[in-house]
Structure 1
Amino acid sequence: MTTTVLDATVPARAAWSAVVRRGQLLTVTDLHGNQAVDCLLYDAHDTAVRYSAADTLQAAGQVFLGAGSVLMSTEHTPLMAVVADDCGRHDTIAGACSKESNALRYGHHTWSQHACVENFLAEGARYGLGKRDLVSNINWYMNVPVEADGALGIVDGRSAPGLRVVLRAETDVLVLVSNCPQVNNPCNGFDPTPVRMTITQDGNR
């Protein structure tokens, strides 16, 4: 029997966090489609141990995440594993939007716009995390093709309403999420929308 531990709808542009215990499943549902979900992971008992894009990509042998990917820590230990994925490809190299990157890419008039880095800082502060604790993150549902010459692009997403990615915690993990507020590129279809975060566990645990 499966028990629902937490079921939350994260509003457009908002932040969210939770501790996912070892063996529990975290399901990220793209409710309306084409919504990027920026994500950071930390060992819940030692936040100095956190998600490492470099270790994850080295272990996977490819630049995209999907079913079967193991999300590795800076200690090269598994934090979470992708056990199911309706979308097929997710990004972990493009990083998170910020006021600074928005101003550089899209013009100084975007400086006042809310961004993922600000979401991470506000949510992370609840756990004693600051700017130095932010690392390269995962972008669930974000479509970032890599060209033959190594150039990156941010293009229309591959997701659709109701698609899910399911993660199993391999240890107790603190998960920080920014439901991306970006409106200057197609990662959210120029219209950020809510997502659903569900934590479940086997009722026998």
Structure 2
Amino acid sequence: MDFQKVSSSQQPIFSDVIPGAAHWSLTVKKGHVLRLIDLEGGANVSMLFYNPVNLLERYNAPDTLKGQHTFKLTQGHCLYSDMGHVFCSIVRDDTAWIDTVCGVANKHKVESKWGARDYQHDRNQWKQNGYDALLVEVAKYGLGKRDLAANLNLFSCVKTAQNGDLLYQTEHSKPGDCIELRFEMDTLVVLTTCPHPMNPATEYPFKPVELQMLEAQPLGADDACLTSRPENGRAFENNRRMHLTHLHSTHSDCLLNNDCQH
């Protein structure tokens, strides 16, 4: 299946530009695609995912990687929750590699690499770090440090040398490169555009990213994300059962309250 033709033919419901060194969050409903576009090249988007109905359920990096027998993520892979569900599927990845293991930089790392700068003196040109950016964003939902699981780094690539050293790949993402996530359940998405912790740039990189929301095409039986691994099929079945249970519960509550709409 050609994911790019399927998803890119849709017109965005809305779009927005997230500047570099910023953070944001939104709930994406099942059946929608979140498209991210690297506007200048060299962007980084660190992402976390939570179930907005049960915030204890969140993205699980180990299960995502071992269930799909991979070190990297790219088009055709799914992102698992720690309760065996699929948050979303990667239906387009122009970069062919999404970093899954390097996390985010903290304040000390950013200051040691690019020097200290704060918002009080430098306003939007201050040097935010990914850890604090995610922490500020999840706090809006009553979450804290213990809720920051391992994150994704979209538009960034880190490979391994023969001796096991991690090697950051410069110029990995080009201007206009696009990644699309199709959501298989309602998901709280938390993100920051702070630089990757291994970025070797001499100047702090402020790299903006455009976000677009689109309606997804219906999931087909031959969908590559569904069929690429048996584990993915089982996770999609878990989603189906979860949604059936939710619909049954909602219908029962409606009958008890006598407030159904016909």
Q: What do you get for the CA RMSD once the two structures are aligned?
A: 2.6
Of residues 83-92 and 141-150 in structure 1, the stretch that sits farther from structure 2 once superposed is 141-150
User: Are 1:89 and 2:97 an aligned pair?
Assistant: yes
Moved beyond 6 Å, runs of 4+: none
8 Å CA contact retained: 2:90, 2:182:
yes
For the pair shown, which has the larger CA radius of gyration, 1 or 2? 2
5+ residue gaps in structure 1?
none
Pair 1:142–1:7, CA change in 2 (3 A): same
- Bigger shift: 149-158 or 63-72? 149-158
Is 1:116 the counterpart of 2:124? The answer is: no
Using structure 2 for the length normalisation, give the TM-score: 0.70
- Structure with the higher fraction of residues in strand conformation: 1
Rate the CA distance shift 1:4–1:146 in 2: closer, same or farther, 3 A. same
> Structure 1: which amino acid aligns with 2:36?
V
The answer to whether structure 1 residue 14 and structure 2 residue 28 are counterparts is no
Task: Work out the CA distance in 2 between the residues paired with 1:187 and 1:159.
Answer: 14
Looking at structure 2, the residues matched to 34 and 188 of structure 1 have their Cα atoms a distance apart, in angstroms, of: 13
User: For residues 102 and 11 of structure 1, what CA distance do their matches in structure 2 show?
Assistant: 18
Superposed counterparts of 1:4-43, under 5 Å: 4-43=12-51
Which letter maps to 2:69? G
Counterpart residue number, 1:77: 85
SS state at 2:67 partner:
helix
Higher helix share: 2
| 1:65-88 CA-partner distances (Å, limit 9, x unpaired) | 100010011112211100111111
Deviation at 1:203, TM superposition (A): 9.4
Question: In the TM superposition, what whole-angstrom CA distance separates every residue of 1:34-73 from its partner, at most 9, and x where no partner exists?
Answer: 1111111111211111111101101221111100010011
Match of 1:66 in 2: 74
Q: CA deviation at 1:129?
A: 1.5
- Aligned-pair identity (%): 30
Give the aligned partner of residue 211 of structure 2.
Answer: 197
Residues 129-186 of structure 1: CA distance to partner in whole angstroms, max 9, x if unpaired? 2111101100001121112232212231411001100001010011111001469733
Is the counterpart of residue 142 in structure 1 residue 150 in structure 2? no
For 2:80, the aligned partner's letter is M
CA distance in 1, matches of 2:86, 2:217: 24
Q: Which moved more, 1:54-63 or 1:4-13?
A: 4-13
1:169 — aligned with what?
183
Verify the 8 A CA contact 1:91 1:140 in the aligned structure 2: yes
TM-score (normalizing by structure 1)? 0.88
**1:46 and 2:60 are equivalent in the alignment:** no
1:130 alignment partner in structure 2: 144
8 Å CA contact retained: 1:154, 1:187: no
Distance in 2 of aligned mates of 1:59 and 1:37 = 23
Aligned length: 202
Q: Distance in 2 between matches of 1:114 and 1:31?
A: 20
DSSP-derived class of the 2:89 partner: strand
Q: Secondary structure at the residue paired with 2:31?
A: coil
Give how far 1:198 is off.
1.0
Which structure 2 segments of 5+ residues have no match? Answer: 1-8, 119-126, 219-262
Counterpart AA for 2:26: A
Which gives a bigger RCO, structure 1 or 2 (Cα 8 Å, sep 6+)? 1
